[in-house]
Structure 1
């Protein structure tokens, strides 16, 4: 091969420098315009494969260095040694491969190399590696995003903690300040009373002194004698008053002294940090696929766990045109979505977000559940008319059944052959569809009207926007746990529970979706306003498809799939 692919190899031998325009893969050199013409007409080279030099130069540098000639013996390679997997010239066979037994013609070994299975496997493997790298890169980017979100959440928690501490200290300070002022006022009052008495006695003594002076100057001896006895009595009384003050310890010096509470002293002395931030390392939810067995594999296991820390979601689609005032919605078995917007109808959208139809309801519809078995909707509401749970057939869109209630119903959830509702009487009720009986489970008089319910196994979940709480009850109405953290969840409304017992709750005023662990002790924010949430109100977890549907109050919903 010539030293430069830019110069014509034939012309270089004639000590002429010309740029090559083609490359001959047989001759292994570049050719200029004149030499190309001769090359294409010569009997020995007219059938050689050539390609434009610009295309040849697109090859990687390592490939350009590969020559048809042996660097050691300057002979063309003719033989391929299978033992060493390398091309050989005749001299190489004698000198370096005399113990090898598996040879083949090089022309046979390289035949159809570009279309061989080996190239296909390499291309496939590179595509897999590229895909895996992309997965890991995207996962790391997502991890970085979550770290940033978690950092902001922790900052908010720190700030909220500081506010709580400050408010508490402000209250303690104000209380102590009032006590200080009250003590000062009391002491001043007592001292003022004593001063007033002393001033009165001073005036009496001054009057006595004036009288004595007058008596000495102007009174007769009889008058002086009689008056002296009276004055002695008055002086004795004044002395007794003074002695009584001394005996009662009234004349002790009073002073205000401040003693810092020992708990605050310990806080100042022993508290050296606001908290601790650590990194928790957990397996990532990425599956690295490898199909070529000869390559080493680093498999990252797919997480199959119910822990809220392992939840990973991906936005599947955004649905527009859901309408205004979305209070409830659910997903049908065929992927359609049903929305209630506090009107006399249910709006049904196709999987792509287009309008399928509207189903009329006898009264304002608040929440909705779909019963796959009978292909019917169970609709709660009734606060502008008759108090019923209404069952509407999906096929003919006619009312199939109504179950009368004592008050309007808000949140509704299906449990086996029964329904759990939260009624306007501020209590959770279980309704039997078969015999239409209503059983009271538990009362919550402190709750707001628009409370939502969900069920999982033997538990019933209730959101309370008034108290910013989520409460889990058993079927007997006994409280299992209550979650409240106003820095994380404000005005909780829509709620749904996944197959592991994790509860997903919407915070309407906090513009987020959080997950609460089955025991109610752990929580994690999954979605926020960054993800497009704006006054969200309701959500629905589909246990058959493992998808979460989240709806804003106005005109937009999101479908997430769990990875």
Structure 2
């Protein structure tokens, strides 16, 4: 309501004077101040006009205040009402803009006894229902916002838990390999230290013999000299034997990082996917009366009133001769085509430009439908199969085998329904891929020929 808006006298404004309006003439559709209202009420042409106080006029919704009986484009009285466009129009409008509109009625007929009609009498109840529906919807949306906030928090906790689990596992694996490194390093070092000690002892003995060699020659007996030389030979032979064994084979420590960890760094491009999955709404609103406000609410045009118009032409490469068996518009307005010539799924942009061949099938495809995310389902009739295709990744992500030929297919994102040539249909639960035969359902009666 526009109660805060101040209206001024329309007549006085023409003279550049801003006098506050006190009345509104519903027929002249102008505001009057006290003086102008007196003149208006005494004029022979307007003394019987219906007026209302400016305060009551302010209480009308803004959109109602803007409604005029005079055409804004041609400044002439609106004499007709176009039901198709839900708007009043003058004679000139009929000629200029509404030549093809079939349901044109005199405005006087449309407005005849509107306020006393059953629709208006029930208008208050309808407004109450609308208000309740709005309140219900607002509460529903607030609940949904609260729900997705909780879902976001849980998702963050799940991501953090997964990150912590990965960190904990990597820490454990890191400690295991470090422990293994310490063990093997200690063993190698101990072996080499033992040999080093033996070599140092032998070297010390040789140093002692070298320093006393002259004394040995002058003072040692023949027996002592002979036995001493034998000991020296043993030491030399021991060193030679060590060189020929594996004790001096070089053993180096090295680490080989797990190929799984290396591929993790190379292959893992994201932590996961965030999906918005749709389910049936739990919102329940009060339904309106089918016959309410017949003269006030625009009727939905019938099929005979719909005027088809060309929106887009598909442009394919010159060497591509398509034999189109099915076509589907994706939620992002791109278009997928089933080409039976080359048994392929083809992708076009929303303005009809060829993008690429998505996948090629070994059997002739028959029908296609959108499933969810970037996935479409394609029926392969002769193979008794459904192929789930990721349009973004250009690959078949899953194949579902059925007990009958597969013609038409439809999906609500949670279930696939596939028809056969006879009276047998199958529904496939996309969560667990369980199948249910729908006996007695009417399938396709005439087969397409490959």
Query: Which interval holds the TM-score relative to the shorter structure?
Result: 0.3 to 0.5
Higher relative contact order (CA 8 A, sep 6+): 1
Q: TM-score, normalised by structure 1?
A: 0.39
**Which has the larger helix fraction?**
2
Higher strand share: 1
